[in-house]
């Protein structure tokens, strides 16, 4: 194991030099490919120990390597998931945007691979999203932004995420969007879009509240929030078919109010979203189904999630 750690440290040092960066990447990828189950723990200890004093290339690759590790050795990663997510949450404070991008990508990989195990999906999903959801409460715009984007990617990449947990998340994020002191509303709008499209708003009343919170963001003084809201509404319309038809009129009215926004990227996304909502069929007399009645109940170990 000492030889493995030494090999990993040497390869990590190569990442810090532009001339040897690619060599270091290839050596680390080869090491991950050849790991046996006993080597997972010492390998993780090396890549989780990186700190802010190391070059951004090293910090980024250490995050990315977690995704590769799960991809190649998903059967032995479950017990290490908590430590990996904690490291990702810590890295959300990184000043380099490429590190945050790597965090979002890696969370997506973790979600897609770990959700393949249906027997433990709910538990793994909670281990993955709970620390990220808690990070939304930090008074740091970058952390809030990164946590919301990671959560959105986790939900997008999870096969049938637990709807009862999504509903709890949605109730909290709707409140967050109304909080004038919350600093990362564009990212939370994207998170709400993910929750809605994953089935986290299974009744008309829940869906109405969720869409209203996004519509309200179209009035935000921050143009990036207005753009995020119009983009999310368009994506929701493009995915829902008749399920969202009963909200067609209200969404079109909200978007129409932004057609002449002073910021061109907002105007462009509003026009695209309007086209998508107008293409939906007219509503019929049926309400969206109570999909929540057929989902799995919340495991006993989860009541503290989102409390």
Q: What is the pLDDT of residues 175-226, one digit of tens each?
A: 999 999 999 999 999 999 999 999 999 999 999 999 999 999 999 999 999 9
pLDDT at 300: 32
The predicted pLDDT at position 74 comes to: 84
Task: Identify which of 210, 198, 128, 134 has the alpha carbon closest to the alpha carbon of residue 170.
Answer: 210
pLDDT at 116 over 70: no
**66 vs 81: CA distance, rounded Å:** 10
Q: Which residues contact 289 (CB under 8 A, 6 or more apart)?
A: 202
The pLDDT of residue 306: 43
Average pLDDT, the chain: 88
For residue 114, pLDDT over 60 is answered with yes
pLDDT over threshold 50, residue 230: yes
The model's pLDDT over 93-106, given as tens digits with 9 standing for 90+, comes to 998 999 999 999 99
Give the mean model confidence (pLDDT) for residues 63-88: 92
For the chain, the distance separating the N- and C-terminal CA atoms, rounded to the nearest angstrom, is 41
Report d(CA 267, CA 259) in Å as an integer.
Answer: 6
Is pLDDT above 60 for 301? no
Burial of 203 (0-12, 13-18, 19+ CB in 10 A): middle
Give the separation between CA 194 and CA 149, rounded to whole angstroms: 10
117, 111, 25: which is closest to 76 by C-alpha?
Answer: 117
Q: Output the CA angle 126-131-132, nearest 5 degrees.
A: 95
pLDDT at 307: 40
- Rounded average pLDDT over 60-87: 92
Q: Could you give the CA distance from residue 28 to residue 31 in angstroms, rounded to a whole number? A: 5
Dihedrals φ, ψ of 240, to 5°?
-95, -25
What pLDDT shows up at residue 242? 78
- What does the alpha-carbon distance between residue 277 and residue 283 come to, in Å, rounded to a whole number? 12
Cβ neighbours for 300, distance < 8 A, ≥ 6 positions apart:
none
pLDDT, residue 282, reads: 86
Alpha helices, DSSP H, located in the chain: 2-15, 21-33, 40-48, 56-73, 81-91, 97-114, 121-135, 141-157, 163-178, 185-197, 204-217, 223-240, 248-256, 264-278
Burial of 205 from C-beta contacts in 10 A (0-12 / 13-18 / 19+): exposed
Question: Nearest-5° angle of CA 41, CA 45, CA 50?
Answer: 155
State the pLDDT at residue 304.
Answer: 36
């Amino acid at each position: 194991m000492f030889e493995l750690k030494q090999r990993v440290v040497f390869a990590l040092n190569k990442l810090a030099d532009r001339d040897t960066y690619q060599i270091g990447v290839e050596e680390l990828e080869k090491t991950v490919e050849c790991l046996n189950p006993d080597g997972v723990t010492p390998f993780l200890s090396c890549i989780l120990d990186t700190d802010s004093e190391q070059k951004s290339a090293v910090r980024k690759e250490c995050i990315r390597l977690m995704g590769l590790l799960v991809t190649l050795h998903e059967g032995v990663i479950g017990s290490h998931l908590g430590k990996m997510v904690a490291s990702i949450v810590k890295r959300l404070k990184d000043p380099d945007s490429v590190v945050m991008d790597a965090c979002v990508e890696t969370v997506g990989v973790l979600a897609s691979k770990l959700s393949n195990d249906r027997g433990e999906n709910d538990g793994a999903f909670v281990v993955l999203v709970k620390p990220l959801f808690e990070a939304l409460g930090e008074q740091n715009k970058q952390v809030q932004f990164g946590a919301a984007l990671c959560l959105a990617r986790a939900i997008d990449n999870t096969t049938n995420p637990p709807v009862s947990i999504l509903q709890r998340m949605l109730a909290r994020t709707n409140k967050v969007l109304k909080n004038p002191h919350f600093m990362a509303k564009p990212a939370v709008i994207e998170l709400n879009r993910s929750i809605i499209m994953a089935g986290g708003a299974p009744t008309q009343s829940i869906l109405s509240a969720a869409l209203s919170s996004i519509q309200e963001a179209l009035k935000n003084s921050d143009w990036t929030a207005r753009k995020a809201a119009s983009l999310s509404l368009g994506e929701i319309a493009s995915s829902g078919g008749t399920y969202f038809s009963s909200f067609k009129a209200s969404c079109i009215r909200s978007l129409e109010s932004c057609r002449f926004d002073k910021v061109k990227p907002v105007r462009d996304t509003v026009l695209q979203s309007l086209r998508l909502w107008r293409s939906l069929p007219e509503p019929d007399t049926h309400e969206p189904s109570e999909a929540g009645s057929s989902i799995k109940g919340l495991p006993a170990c989860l009541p503290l999630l989102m409390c």
